Amino acid sequence: MSSEFNYKHIRLPLYGFVGISKKEDAVLQTPVVQRLRRIKQLSNTYLVYPGAVHTRLEHSLGTLHLAGIVADRLKLKKSEKRVLRLAALLHDIGHGPFSHVFTTPMTWINGENYTHEDTTIFLIKHDEALSKALGREKDHVLNVFEDEGSLLHKIISSEFDIDKLDYLRRDSYHTGVAYGIYDLERILLTICKISRFGEEYFGVTEKGMRAIES
């Protein structure tokens, strides 16, 4: 990996040491990202599974790590890799207390079509500390969330995306259940870009089908 993404290293249970860039570190230190330390990934699930106390911050760092691997596998431009990794780090900052449980009262205020991604976009647009940390990358990161037809958006959020690839393994690890255990290494080895009808999609080759189905 480029030295740019080895400015600091953070140790994560699923991946070992994960490198981050200087800009990613600045974004990580902002209050809107640091608050994810206090939001449990699975809300109140820890009352049933005592190990399920992992946070949205851990998941966001894991998703950032996968974003870097995917960018390299797909041979994305370095500028695209930077933006994808930053978007992965920020993709959950719109979550409120108790994660998805908080979405219901927010729909009472903002309408039934509200999602936490709406708050993510709002924070990227208006939070001063985050805007300063993102600098020139701000508009590019916003575009990842707003342009649903783009390849970078689909890598972050689609039927098959790096968000799911991280949280399925992470939730299984912390709860101790086997439902989300799958062959991540095989998937990462077989991911590819698929072009159809003028659009690019994120997928796997035929050799990765069994791993996806699992």
Give catalytic residue positions.
116
**What's the token pair of residue 13?**
């249970």
Residues paired with residue 203 on neighbouring β-strands, in sequence order: 192
CA distance 81 to 71: 5
Give me the torsion for CA of 136, 140, 143, 145, rounded to 10°.
-90
Asked if residue 89 lies in contact with residue 64, where contact means CB atoms within 8 angstroms, the answer is: yes
End-to-end CA distance of the chain: 29
Q: Count the neighbouring beta carbons within 10 Å of the beta carbon of residue 128.
A: 8
Q: Which amino acid is at 163?
A: D
